[in-house]
Structure 1
Amino acid sequence: MRRLTGVTIYADQAMTPNLLATSAAGAEFSILSPTETISPDSPIWRAISVVVPAERAVGGHVEIGQRVDLFLSVSIATNVVSETGEFVERPDRANRYQTGESTKITWEDIEVLAIVPDEGLYILKVDLHQAEEINHALASATLGKQFEFSFALRPDGDNRLVDRSGYGETFDRIFQQYNLPIPGIIDQDAYPQPSPEPSFIVPGAGPPVQPAPPAPSTEPSPGQASPEPSPGQATPEPSVGPSGSPAP
């Protein structure tokens, strides 16, 4: 009947539906685990598919049966009412908002049911509310909205859920959190030229002052002959002491 089993089945063991991992002949995965059954109060499980490129899916190393957190990144446009009463896309200076990207952890502890590696396609097990939310994001992407999914792989056995109210990132939040420096404009005429010795630049200060070149020396260098007297200049005679010898 070409159906996969979810557990080891021994010889002469009775076959029951909960031992099968697939719910239909030829299926490659099952939404329900071998220990789950459908009842009036059981979770309403569904399977949905999302495309996540390898660079946003742990390098493509996510495997079937592992659990992931799903992040949603979306480009949000800020529209304000113009002077003519029309909505235009520009910064909302009154509320200090502007167009940009926003990312947040949205769906947690999601089981991976199947993978199509060549397409970066992942089939996930979610409840009906989650399926509705994810499909809305997918539909918005087809209408020109910029939505992207990313995975964070969970360690085995970690099924903790976090309070998502403290999560969510935009560039300005990261900028302020880590105090990123702002690139400045370089004045090439005043910018110091490279030197063999490194110099320290104080933020907010001007370019370092270059030391003045040394003044030329007036002393003769070792081995240099004394200058000859110019023509017509008398050579001084050595003085003579009382004994007739040159005075010291």
Structure 2
Amino acid sequence: MAKPLIAGNWKMHGSLALIEEFGRAFATVELPAEVEVALIVPFPYLAQAAQKLASVGVCVGAQTLSDQPSGALTGEVSGDMLRELGARMVLVGHSERRSLFHEDDQAVLGRIRAALAVGLTPILCLGETLEQRDDDRTEAVVLGQLEAVFDALDVDERTRLVVAYEPVWAIGTGRTATPEQAQAVHSAIRQRLVGYSSALGENTQILYGGSMKAANAADLLAQPDIDGGLVGGASLQVDDFLAICQSAG
């Protein structure tokens, strides 16, 4: 069984004061020992977050990275830079990166390789739009995004990824996939990973990311193939995020 992971994606939100607030909260609350917790913060806050959260067992991650190690690439950030600031995880292929910044499967694969090359754990994000779901293309889209990466990696590299299913139609819309809808897609992802190897299917963490909040986390996390959450808006509220972490235990 994969160990539960709750990762909060702050997107382009947050502040130094909020990092301090989370640091104080995690220092005074005992979380379930079996649950991993991560905060995925904007680049400028990585060093501060890593400093404040390391002592309370919270991993820090970044929201994207360049596919290049260095160069004349104004505005880009390399994996080595992220590591130096204390990041241990990085989101790759988030739906907002795919839609707003036009990152296709090849761009996602390049960033996955860059993350693995410096020892970062990539969280590979997969998901379908409402139009694709309505056209009954959910599995084709999601598994296609998965295979575009996993087919290109070797056996060892595949074991170093976390996967996050994030239905695009349920991100920031207030809509959430029902536990049964989410479980169906997670099961399909799990079975595709088993196709690579039974161990990969059993051990890969598959997170649900689509308006998970304190009120619905327990029902979602109770599903057999949901190993945790990629939490958006609720990760900016200390009490809500702590409640979700508690639900994963």
TM-score band, normalised by shorter chain: under 0.3
TM-score by length of 1: 0.20
Which protein has greater RCO, CA pairs closer than 8 Å, 6+ apart? 2
> Hey, which of these two has a bigger chunk of strand by percent?
1
Q: TM-score, normalised by structure 2?
A: 0.20
